[in-house]
Structure 1
Amino acid sequence: MLSPTYAIVDIETTGHSPVKGDRMIQFAVVFVKDWKIQSTYTTFIQPGKKIPFFIQDLTNISDEDVKQAPIFEEVAGDVFDMLENCIFVAHNTNFDLSFVQAEFKRIGFPLWKGKKMDTVELSRLLFPTSFSYKLQDITLERGIEMTNAHRADDDAYATAELFIECMKEIEKLPIQTLEHIHKRSFQLKYDSSSLFFEALQKKRLMIVKDDLDIYKGIALRRKQVQPGPVESSTYYPETKNQKRLFFSEGLKDFKERDGQFQMMDSIWQTFQAKDEIAIEASTGIGKTLSYLMPSYFHAKQQGKKVLISTYTSHLMEQLVEVEVPKLEAIVKNKVNVAILKGARHYMDLHRFEELLRAEDESYDDTFTICQLLVWLTTTVTGDLGELNTSSGGQYFLDKVRKNAFSIKTSEVSNHDFHSYALAQSHQADLLITNHAMLFTDKHRLEPLLTNEITSFVIDEAHQFVQAANAREERIFSYTQWRYVFGQLGTRDQEQLTSSFAKVLENHGVNTIGPFEELDRIYARCSSKFDEAVQSLVQNVRGKSTHKSHSKQTILLEELSLDYALLEEVYQYLQRWITIAQNLLDRLSKSLLDSTHVDKLVTAEWQYWLNEMKIKTGEWIDIFLSSPKEYSVWIELDRRSIPSSLHVYKKPINSTHAVDEVFNEWRGNAAIVWTSGTLSVPGNSRFIVNKLGLPESVQIKTYNASRDFYQGANLFIVDDMPDIQNVSQSDFIDAVADAVIQTVLVTEGRCFVLFTSQDMLRKTVDLIQDTTLLEGYMLFAQGMTSGSRMKLLKSFQRFRKSVLFGTNSFWEGVDVPGDALSAVIMVRLPFSSPDEPVFKTQAQRLTKQGINSFSSLALPEAILRFRQGFGRLIRSSSDRGVFIVLDRRIQSKSYGKEFIRALPDIPVKKVSLEDMVLDLEHWYNEKV
């Protein structure tokens, strides 16, 4: 059999729609045969119209470049002949091929016919943990050079190299994985099944000894349980000279910081006394090593573990990948560390294997299964958060998460990722987890927090308040509820209920009576549910005061709810669950002799029955329980009712939740709370009081030396319009202008921080419309796809880039060195008066005669302000500017409190024009 020739194509065009008159301006093709690049072809094409400026800027192809180029009619024959008998490949084949076909059709040529493949689909499948599948991003990650992006010749060549890289990756896959994927490859969107078949045929002729584990035909990367604790000195460096020796010998770039040594000693003494302390450590102290050093020695001395908790998964990984290696270099020893997360972070292999044998998968299910099969050959952790899946794929991931109902057998346990994480934890000196898990551990049948733990370090302690509140957060989503209802259906709807009834019939269980009742209750429940939702929607419409706004938010206590109707829905839910559970119980005794299909349907019934139980619990919590210590509100968008309907319930006080976790440990274990921001001017106990820590808990503050911030400047732009006196559109115009001018001077590397997603979106849209930043990579939270950390990684990969974010971007982000030159704060970060949790808290304070602005709004805003500044200077060699566009910082009496909260740095109050001139001088000095 002759090996095929692949034609890897890329085109540049005047726009996206040939129907609207857009035309091709460059065509390039790279021919690959036997997995080697054979030849290339490229040509400019005269489009017969002006090339839009933004396309010229993007592609660097001007009207002059195509002036003497042939029109498409003159090269169409050559293009058609070149593509004939080839397999068409592109990065987003739908665009390139459909455009080429439209051009053929326009000039009367026959359409090209043949097989097609897509490197986007292949890359997503074969590199399932990549942060982005844009050509520039995925090639950069794979080490493929792109010297001139958005030019068809360079893009086609890079796509060809990526295609070859994909084939190499396919050939690395174990035979078990190839067999599973090849079977499903015919359900993919493109004709890539031949690639998997070719690799499978080669693999079958080879004798390969893969270092893999196999679970029921699924290839897994072999896990290595780390050895027990290594014997080493438990000697803690008490004196400054001893510490200096440890650090200087372990770290090449060590610079002595008094605050760091003092913080280490404070923590060591707290550990020894089994006491509790709160420590505020500014950027530049070296906070992480300050607690890792005493934690390591204390764990060794006690023969137990120190548990370190931080806020996000990213920070947990950063601890292990960046900070622990530094600790090992300092102590000259291997440090046994384990990451612990809640069970739902991990894959349930038993459940996945069941679904792997199912049929009639959707495209999203099929594709996600293929991604998981590839990922399982490389992942050590089994943490599903490593994956980059589509929104449809997320539904499948939810089906294969570990939960309280997961099957536990010895066969599963030998390969189980959660069990592996627990095994790692037993051998560890330091346990690293997130705040959320400390709260959920209290409710486990087998708690992970045992007497093996001798001390706790709570890093990012100010975020423990948020984690405590999130612990009891409940969210009602109309679309999620409808999705659950849709999975179940009734017998005549050919959904799961129908399939489960047939399984029961196969096992001789009388189903006529019970299923008639189940169907009747389901229909009534569904009807009453829709009636209750409609009642909620009408309530909100009746209370709406901003008719021009499509999005509505209102506290539930301000509505007149039909509690009888809400109770009726609950009663129907409960009756459905009772009957459904009884039917499952009747089948369980005879299930041992079932076919795999019957077992799979039964497992699905169990899964969705559990989901209904969870949903019923949500219904009670949100609509039928007393909300005294909670804020409950409804949100919807009038343009998409009822699909946009959400109801949220969040606690407004975290002290009870914190006490529940730590009260039993106080006096038996040391507890260290630490953060860069625990206090505000005039209130050193702001966060400590929110956490409900005893008054006896001492607070210590360690600040970096003044020269640490010598590279920082604060600019207050004093000729910005006052948003309270101009329209929002005028203010956004001014913000967009300030951002553009700053970015052009600093050549990107900017964070732009907003308090409103709406203002962020409108500002970014306006900047893009001007085309003045066309040469820059703009990443915007809520607009650019991907998680917060994926956006951050994208931002860091490109020199000329700008990141637009809201509150969640202001914390826990490290961008050291030249990757960040400027932070632009659009508005002082006050909570919106209409933000439901804040509104509820403020109302409670006002009823108690307490000024909610000075006791709540201002301190919270100052903390966020400090966090925003904290993104800028991460090391003593960093240089950067902090730019505030909100005039209130100088026009309001409270403005000076924000400035007082920052380190002692130069403050310049200037016009935008003067700031730009200063920045030009500063930047030229820097370069």
Structure 2
Amino acid sequence: MEKTITRFTPEIRTSIADTIKASGGNEVFFTGRIDRNGVVTEVRVCARGNDSAVPVVQSAAQEADVLIHNHPSGDLTPSNADLSVAARMADYGTGFYIINNTASEVYAVVEPIPRREKIPIDEAAIAALLDELGPFAAKSPTYETRPTQIALAASIARSFNIGAIGVFEAGTGVGKSYAYLLPVIEWALTNQERVVVSTGTINLQQQLMEKDIPAASGILGKKVKAVLMKGRQNYVCLRRLAEALEEKDFFDEDLEELEQIFLWAQTTQDGSKSDLPFLPRDSIWSRIASESDACMGMRCSRRDDCFVMRVRKDAADASILIVNHHLLFADLETRMMGAGYEGTAVLPPFHHIVFDEAHAIEAAATSFFSEYFTRFKLNKQLGVFFRSRRNFIGGHLPALERISAHGGEISAARAAIETVKSVFFSLEDAALSLVNGGFSWRLSDATVQDAAPLLEEMESLRQAIAIFTGIIRNVLDGIDEDDQDEQVVWESKFALRRLEFIGTLCLYFQEWSERRDSVFWIEKNKLSWKGSGETVWYPRFVQTPLSIAPMMCAGVFEPFSTVVCTSATLRIAKKFEFWMRRTGVSRIEEDRILSGEFGSPFPYSTNVLLAIPDSGPLPDSPDFQPWVETTITSLLQASGGHALVLFTSYEMLRGACETARRALSPLGITILRQGDDDRSRLLETFKQDETSVLFATDSFWEGVDAPGDALLQVIIVKLPFRVPNNPVLQARSEAITQRGGNAFMELSLPEAALRFRQGFGRLMRRKTDRGVVTVLDRRIVAKRYGKVFLESLPETLTCFAPLSDVLHRVEHFLYP
């Protein structure tokens, strides 16, 4: 044993001894911080125990440099429990000390690893890389400096230096990718700390990996390792693929597709679905994709060839990880549920995040943290145990029967499966009767009086699942220890967990009034049977978080050292308030937030005309649809095609599209419609056929990049307010109203204004682009709230006039 004088400051020794004395001489658990000399200069009391034990507070332990506790006996020899904790924490570089009650002696079980001093990066030097004398300019004679890009790069560098939450709106054309990549690479290499860049689209991920990161690395003159990580469901599981081929419950065309995937899997280096030369059907890919619950890890016979393991090994020493929002949230969920922030979860450990396309954070988090079940999710898990198709019978029940001492219960399990399916059919009937002629229904104070049959069926399903899982668990208990590692046992346990979770969701629906932080709702979906004209409706049962702000604050903005959020559309009427409130940034101390607006260098004031026919009918008028159909056709004739027409409903789109086709096809203008082809092929056709017109809704309000003559006019048919009967919007609106707020002004309006900005942003994609944005919804000038939309746009030329004048101005602006 050694004296504590060299490891603790005198003040800390006295503080520890006093705390132990005040605790009756029992064991006390402390966490400590050390200085650059390895001396404990700060301690925190985390738990108190008895004379022989004290609990370890895991969440506090992972944030500490060293764990400290006393042995009241004075014998500082570590127990087996001490050694177990010490070994676990050593993986995080955390030390482990045992002291006596007077804090005069210490036994260092594990030496702490001193925290590396952060080395600030030179903000001015980062910015200078992008100026007229920098290496970018030297490599290209046509290089144009962008002052806003230079300022953005310096602000992001500062965010890393001071550990800030950076909220930066960067207009189209600023070049935000280079503005964040240069400080990201410099910080990662200088401080040997990994940075995660999270984006919303695969296109941006590929651009970063194939073009932007290599270019930024070259400008810095430093090599950096970056790895693109995808969710594991994007990768084929070789074990599951082999099993699927051995089974015979496929139609001939399914088997042919499986065999093609098998041949591809022999040669692919990537193993991801995007590397396939064709797009596999969802029903096939779901049978063979890698799944976390079904992964056997080190017990898998194909672990040495596993594509997921390969990319994880590759990422372990990467300085930059490129991920999508969904995968990042999967990692954060694991950390928030106990994995902590210092070790590997879904991703290797990291302390810095850049959210590109940060406007999509709330939608992405809402989607990820929602839970749901359908007939397909239920049947997939039941099918693990028993399924039949044509003359084939499959599933694990026969194998479990052979290896279990309780195999006699298998017949009861088969009967229980049929009971679960029967009860679920009744639940579907109850749900569809509630939805009735609509497409969704929400469980709330206003609807609960109608929900009794639904909740009764929910309880019946929960009980039926519990009976089945109880039988299977008893069967599994009858399997010898030597057989517990069998694949059939592991997969059965995974399927049980998923079935039990469906039962838990059923319970949560019944407890909805005690779970006001969630929205419980039903969505009606359509299923068209292959080869028949029959349409079948089925319900999807969903639990959605009422707000993602608390979990984003606690799981992202508070624990991570640096979080940079950037997008072209974060502000409403020149303010960040709405986005910051919805995402949880506003819950962070103001002095830790850096924000800024970095305007587009594009010449909107001369190259863009904002046109609004001010004499058309309002959207709630029965005359609006026929007027829209004829007006769109006239506008497309004025521009000669070259247009993107954005709708808020597919029904309105369909009618307008047919009218335009009849009128414009004879003129040689191709009319494309969302749904006629795969999104990527549709966009490629639109860009290649420069006179074509694309009618679209929903996802096409963002992510469309068609520079040049392919896009001369964007027509926005209606202001993009979400439909008021959207269950999640309803619940969030009610929550605002209940606290005395104005749901329209605080939620519906700013949400629509952000969407409107994204639609407007489809037009100008290059500095030389020019064109017209025409808005057919005259509420933008007739209603007081319309100024919120107008004030959120850059300065442009305008034409707010009768339709005939608008048509004349559009044609002469495009073809002077």
Structure 2 counterpart SS, 1:849: coil
1:553 is aligned to 2:440: yes
Q: How does 1:614-763 map to 2 (within 5 A)?
A: 614-625=501-512, 626-636=514-524, 643-663=537-557, 665-666=559-560, 669-681=561-573, 683-693=575-585, 694-696=588-590, 697-705=593-601, 707=603, 710-725=606-621, 727=622, 730-763=623-656
- Kindly tell me: are residues 638 and 397 of structure 1, through their superposed partners in 2, closer, same or farther at Cα, counting changes over 3 Å? closer
Q: How does 1:753-902 map to 2 (within 5 A)?
A: 753-768=646-661, 772=665, 775-781=668-674, 783-786=675-678, 788-902=679-793
Structure 1 counterpart SS, 2:196: strand
**Cα distance between partner residues in 2 of 1:375 and 1:523:** 38
- Which string of whole-angstrom CA distances, capped at 9 and with x for unpartnered residues, describes residues 648-672 of structure 1? 3322211122123225534xx2221
**Cα distance between partner residues in 2 of 1:478 and 1:768:** 39
* TM-score normalised according to structure 1 size: 0.66
Structure 2 counterpart SS, 1:283: coil
- Kindly tell me: are residues 882 and 687 of structure 1, through their superposed partners in 2, closer, same or farther at Cα, counting changes over 3 Å? same
Q: 2:352 is matched with which residue: 440, 455, 477?
A: 455
Gaps of 5+ in 2: 1-119, 528-533
| Alpha-carbon shift at residue 378 of structure 1 (Å) | 6.0
Structure 2 counterpart SS, 1:453: coil
Q: 2:428 is matched with which residue: 519, 523, 533?
A: 533
Q: How does 1:300-315 map to 2 (within 5 A)?
A: 300-315=189-204
Q: 1:330 is matched with which residue: 196, 219, 223?
A: 219
| Alpha-carbon shift at residue 271 of structure 1 (Å) | 0.9
Q: Which moved more, 1:737-746 or 1:254-263?
A: 737-746
Structure 2 counterpart SS, 1:266: helix
- Kindly tell me: are residues 777 and 585 of structure 1, through their superposed partners in 2, closer, same or farther at Cα, counting changes over 3 Å? farther
- Kindly tell me: are residues 382 and 298 of structure 1, through their superposed partners in 2, closer, same or farther at Cα, counting changes over 3 Å? same
- Which string of whole-angstrom CA distances, capped at 9 and with x for unpartnered residues, describes residues 763-784 of structure 1? 3244345564684444433x32
| Alpha-carbon shift at residue 253 of structure 1 (Å) | 3.8
Gaps of 5+ in 1: 1-232, 542-549
| Alpha-carbon shift at residue 492 of structure 1 (Å) | 12
**Cα distance between partner residues in 2 of 1:327 and 1:878:** 26
Structure 1 counterpart SS, 2:173: coil
Q: What residue identity is the alignment partner of 1:712?
A: V
| Alpha-carbon shift at residue 907 of structure 1 (Å) | 0.9
1:573 is aligned to 2:462: no
- Which string of whole-angstrom CA distances, capped at 9 and with x for unpartnered residues, describes residues 593-633 of structure 1? 99xxxx7x778756754553453344344455544122222
- Kindly tell me: are residues 483 and 800 of structure 1, through their superposed partners in 2, closer, same or farther at Cα, counting changes over 3 Å? farther
| Alpha-carbon shift at residue 291 of structure 1 (Å) | 0.7
- Kindly tell me: are residues 507 and 241 of structure 1, through their superposed partners in 2, closer, same or farther at Cα, counting changes over 3 Å? closer
Q: How does 1:74-85 map to 2 (within 5 A)?
A: none
- 1:566/1:624 contact within 8 Å kept: no
**Cα distance between partner residues in 2 of 1:813 and 1:448:** 34
- Which string of whole-angstrom CA distances, capped at 9 and with x for unpartnered residues, describes residues 440-483 of structure 1? 11344663488853522111222111122122212333455456
| Alpha-carbon shift at residue 692 of structure 1 (Å) | 1.5
**Cα distance between partner residues in 1 of 2:167 and 2:485:** 60
| Alpha-carbon shift at residue 881 of structure 1 (Å) | 1.2
Q: What residue identity is the alignment partner of 1:760?
A: L
**Cα distance between partner residues in 2 of 1:462 and 1:574:** 42
* TM-score normalised according to structure 2 size: 0.75
**Which residue is equivalent to 1:286?**
175
Q: 2:414 is matched with which residue: 489, 513, 519?
A: 519
Q: How does 1:126-165 map to 2 (within 5 A)?
A: none
| Alpha-carbon shift at residue 579 of structure 1 (Å) | 1.8
- Which string of whole-angstrom CA distances, capped at 9 and with x for unpartnered residues, describes residues 753-797 of structure 1? 11122222333244345564684444433x3242x4453334333
Aligned residues: 671
- 2:524/2:538 contact within 8 Å kept: yes
Structure 2 counterpart SS, 1:710: helix
| Alpha-carbon shift at residue 856 of structure 1 (Å) | 1.4
Q: What residue identity is the alignment partner of 1:826?
A: V
**Cα distance between partner residues in 2 of 1:656 and 1:635:** 26
**Cα distance between partner residues in 2 of 1:606 and 1:476:** 19
Q: What residue identity is the alignment partner of 2:433?
A: Q
Structure 1 counterpart SS, 2:734: helix
**Cα distance between partner residues in 2 of 1:777 and 1:581:** 60
Q: What residue identity is the alignment partner of 1:457?
A: V
1:439 is aligned to 2:336: no
Structure 1 counterpart SS, 2:422: helix
- Kindly tell me: are residues 511 and 240 of structure 1, through their superposed partners in 2, closer, same or farther at Cα, counting changes over 3 Å? closer
Structure 1 counterpart SS, 2:617: coil
**Cα distance between partner residues in 1 of 2:138 and 2:743:** 51
User: Cα RMSD (Å) of the superposition?
Assistant: 3.4
- 1:567/1:624 contact within 8 Å kept: no
Q: What residue identity is the alignment partner of 1:539?
A: L
- 1:709/1:873 contact within 8 Å kept: no
Structure 2 counterpart SS, 1:908: strand
- 1:551/1:638 contact within 8 Å kept: no
| Alpha-carbon shift at residue 569 of structure 1 (Å) | 1.3
- 2:401/2:407 contact within 8 Å kept: yes
- Kindly tell me: are residues 581 and 239 of structure 1, through their superposed partners in 2, closer, same or farther at Cα, counting changes over 3 Å? closer
Q: How does 1:18-37 map to 2 (within 5 A)?
A: none
Structure 1 counterpart SS, 2:522: strand
**Which residue is equivalent to 2:295?**
406
- Which string of whole-angstrom CA distances, capped at 9 and with x for unpartnered residues, describes residues 729-752 of structure 1? x43332232333333443433221
- Kindly tell me: are residues 253 and 613 of structure 1, through their superposed partners in 2, closer, same or farther at Cα, counting changes over 3 Å? farther
- Kindly tell me: are residues 492 and 277 of structure 1, through their superposed partners in 2, closer, same or farther at Cα, counting changes over 3 Å? closer
| Alpha-carbon shift at residue 638 of structure 1 (Å) | 10
Q: What residue identity is the alignment partner of 1:431?
A: L
- Which string of whole-angstrom CA distances, capped at 9 and with x for unpartnered residues, describes residues 165-188 of structure 1? xxxxxxxxxxxxxxxxxxxxxxxx
Q: 1:384 is matched with which residue: 273, 290, 293?
A: 273
1:424 is aligned to 2:350: no
Structure 1 counterpart SS, 2:538: coil
| Alpha-carbon shift at residue 814 of structure 1 (Å) | 2.8
**Which residue is equivalent to 1:503?**
399
- Kindly tell me: are residues 403 and 684 of structure 1, through their superposed partners in 2, closer, same or farther at Cα, counting changes over 3 Å? closer
